[in-house]
Structure 1
């Protein structure tokens, strides 16, 4: 009964749902303009990718609000199970739809599918289900997750949730402020080096994703 009471939802912030919806729409429009206007400096929503960082920040607030006080009482197994139930259905659906999209994609061509072979196609699907990067599929070799490119952000969510449960929950506030300072320097260094922070989704910039999620 005590565990059940702890798992009961706290106050729901409807305004956050609205902000989440606006951010999702801006991401869709941003990627649409990638095809229409490849030059980001000329796109009317050229900074739309920052909605991903907003999602990370929003996730941090929601997790902290929901679990800062309850997680020590619930225990790590329950916390990790709740996060798995929350996140992984999207991973599975994205993998299934992405697999179908790859096999019948009219743009990458039948040659890419034939060149990949059933072995690589199935291995990439298995990796996608397990949230393991596989940036070697012909025709989709740019992203860490060839069947569902945005899944890189879910991988970062998994990593930061584990880090939250194992480390952040146990740290006093002054150390959280120190880590915030370090992550601020890190994200600024990434932005200066790359010229932007639309990174983390492919193999060459994979490490940048950690800077984005840790700062947010």
Structure 2
């Protein structure tokens, strides 16, 4: 029998928020200095596992009660699109500002934006579509906000799940996860790492990453309910271990194996154990806040990094010599801003977009 969908998983909230912070340090290593988490590109795999578990937990019963795939996907778009769009708007405003004043644009590792390239990318991004290759810098799927690539594949796998959920028994999931693990293993060992997926030539790796991790999360939904209640690990230990895995990056010859180990063993295990433990009463609010700001932090941090860096340069300051203090100050400002965005932008907008009051609680 399924657990009540209103149950919260505060340990998973804490893991999600800490992982989003790690991604931000990865994209802004020059601001964070020694706190730069060089292996945080693997946080995406953790996010996919979390997504698979949470969506299976929240929607399995509703699918059984008659929810359609179209209704589910509408709710997922309502959840993801507002903050995704805001990240695109932030990037678009920054690029337009620099183009207008004929300044170099340091965004998406592309320094030679033109108005035509900008318009093309902006038009595609508004409709959540990947941008055609711009011809300068890496062929990013979303050059206006590189982090958005994982949101595209999140929606793709959500659609697959919505169509196939009735056939996803534990046995089918085991087979699906096994095949996906072999596919993922080939990609990781062939490419030497799993740091691929955000460019056009990495689409295959992105698919293997999301297929394995998402359905591993769905499988965890079935497995977690059958675990002994004594299988508990402190949530602080789990988050600390997760951060160590996102911080430590071995030499290139071992990176592919290490990435694969994290993706197919360690991250699913951390999520599984995270479903079985909760922080103490005093820490509940901190963990809840971490989960609250996590998506906004992931969706909008990338363009803000370059705005902050350029602001420091305008003040005559070298961001590379200020880390980690510049990164910590930046983090406080961005996290506070994400809380405001959640309260005054994302939640009200999703309430308006949700077609019925009964559905609004489920787009959170």
- TM-score, normalised to structure 2, is 0.51
* Residues in 2 aligned to 1:199 and 1:128: alpha-carbon distance in whole angstroms: 20
Structure 2, unpaired ranges of 5+: 214-364
Say whether the 8 Å CA contact 2:124–2:130 is kept in structure 1. yes
Q: Which residue of 2 aligns with 1:23?
A: 19
1:14, distance to aligned residue in structure 2 (A)? 1.6
Q: Which residue of 2 aligns with 1:32?
A: 28
Q: Which residue of 2 aligns with 1:3?
A: none
Q: Deviations over 1:48-69 (max 9, x none)?
A: 2111111111111110110112
Q: Deviations over 1:92-119 (max 9, x none)?
A: 112211211222344438x934xx334x
* Residues in 2 aligned to 1:139 and 1:104: alpha-carbon distance in whole angstroms: 19
Q: Which residue of 2 aligns with 1:4?
A: none
Which has more radius of gyration? 2
* Superposition map of 1:33-72 within 5 A: 33=29, 45-72=37-64
1:139, distance to aligned residue in structure 2 (A)? 4.8
* Residues in 2 aligned to 1:133 and 1:140: alpha-carbon distance in whole angstroms: 15
1:213, distance to aligned residue in structure 2 (A)? 0.6
Say whether the 8 Å CA contact 1:30–1:48 is kept in structure 2. yes
1:169, distance to aligned residue in structure 2 (A)? 3.6
* Residues in 2 aligned to 1:123 and 1:135: alpha-carbon distance in whole angstroms: 8
Q: 1:102 aligns with which of 95, 98, 102?
A: 95
* Shift in CA distance, 91/169, structure 1 to aligned 2, threshold 3 Å: farther
* Residues in 2 aligned to 1:168 and 1:211: alpha-carbon distance in whole angstroms: 19
Q: 1:179 aligns with which of 170, 173, 176?
A: 176
* Residues in 2 aligned to 1:169 and 1:156: alpha-carbon distance in whole angstroms: 21
* Shift in CA distance, 112/138, structure 1 to aligned 2, threshold 3 Å: farther
Give RMSD over aligned pairs.
2.5
1:87, distance to aligned residue in structure 2 (A)? 0.8
How many equivalent pairs are there?
201
Q: Which residue of 1 aligns with 2:121?
A: 124
Say whether the 8 Å CA contact 2:25–2:36 is kept in structure 1. no
Deviating 4+ runs (over 4 angstroms)? 34-37, 138-141
1:198 matched to 2:205? The reply is: no
1:126, distance to aligned residue in structure 2 (A)? 1.7
Q: 1:83 aligns with which of 67, 76, 80?
A: 76
* Residues in 1 aligned to 2:178 and 2:161: alpha-carbon distance in whole angstroms: 17
* Residues in 2 aligned to 1:210 and 1:12: alpha-carbon distance in whole angstroms: 29
* Residues in 1 aligned to 2:30 and 2:53: alpha-carbon distance in whole angstroms: 30
* Residues in 1 aligned to 2:133 and 2:32: alpha-carbon distance in whole angstroms: 27
* Shift in CA distance, 21/186, structure 1 to aligned 2, threshold 3 Å: same
* Shift in CA distance, 31/178, structure 1 to aligned 2, threshold 3 Å: same
Say whether the 8 Å CA contact 1:91–1:129 is kept in structure 2. no
- TM-score, normalised to structure 1, is 0.83
